[in-house]
Amino acid sequence: MSASASGSSSNLRLAPVLRWLGLTLVVLLALQISVVLSGADWSEPAFQQLLIERLVSQAPMGFVGLLLMLIGSRLDHPGAERTVIRWVVCVLSALLTVVMIAVVPMAISGNQTLSGQADQTLQQRRGQLEMARQQGKNPDNVKMLGDQLAQAGQLPAGASDEEKTKAAQRFIDGQLQQMDDQIQQAERQRNLAVNQRRYGGTVSAVVLAIAFVLLAFAAVL
């Protein structure tokens, strides 16, 4: 009997702590989002992606906060069906569900826009690389570059035309390889960014929406 009473007393002391801790996390979520909204530019895809990333990264903190508030309410009022705190949790969870659902099409559209811009930039760089390759095949350009290397002191004095040509060709090949490596690195970064926005943004928003729906039902059931 005393053990049961002690356990109930402990729960009553813990319940307010959980509620205040949960409320603190929810307030922190609101502050984090308000900071981004203060510089809102809805027509800019980069801002949309920033908002989505901030929502998705901070929403789990709000979920935990609401869950702690719900647990605290149940511990404090185990027999009550629907307390004020539980209604607050339900409403906020429903609101965050709507936000997460609204984020999904925005994330898809923004990802397509940013991906298109990245593809256009890569296409331009590939065109520049192809142009450089064509110029590198021109004998006059190779000869001119060989003379420039000789004048710059990068070749031994009295180097023959053949040596100048070979040195110029090595220089051109090195520049072309460097450009190709940079393009490949940009492609990898583009693919990483696309996957990050897809799975870290769109898919995560869907999962969070489902989680908030379940939490809203748990608050009133």
Rama region for 41: left / alpha / beta (φ>0; ψ in -120 to 50; rest) = beta
Give the pLDDT confidence score for residue 195 in this predicted structure. Answer: 79
pLDDT at residue 6 above 50? no
What are the pLDDT digits (tens) for 14-51?
Answer: 778 888 899 899 999 888 888 877 766 666 767 777 88
Q: Is the pLDDT of residue 137 over 90?
A: no
How does the average pLDDT of the chain come out, rounded? 82
pLDDT greater at residue 6 or residue 67: 67
Q: Under DSSP, is residue 65 helix (H, G, I), strand (E, B) or coil?
A: helix
CB 29 within 8 A of CB 70: no
Residue 187 has pLDDT above 70, yes or no: yes
**For residue 211, what are the domain limits?**
2-220
CB-side neighbour CA atoms (13 Å) of 24: 6
**What was the pLDDT predicted at 40?**
66
DSSP labels, 141-195: HHHHHHHHHHHTT-S-TT--HHHHHHHHHHHHHHHHHHHHHHHHHHHHHHHHHHH
* Dihedral angle sign, alpha carbons of residues 212, 213, 214, 219: positive
Full-model pTM? 0.69
Identify the pLDDT of residue 9. Answer: 55
What are 50-82's pLDDT values in tens digits?
A: 888 888 888 999 999 999 999 888 887 776 677
- Could you tell me the pLDDT band of residue 102, with boundaries at 50, 70 and 90? confident
Q: How many domains does the chain have?
A: 1
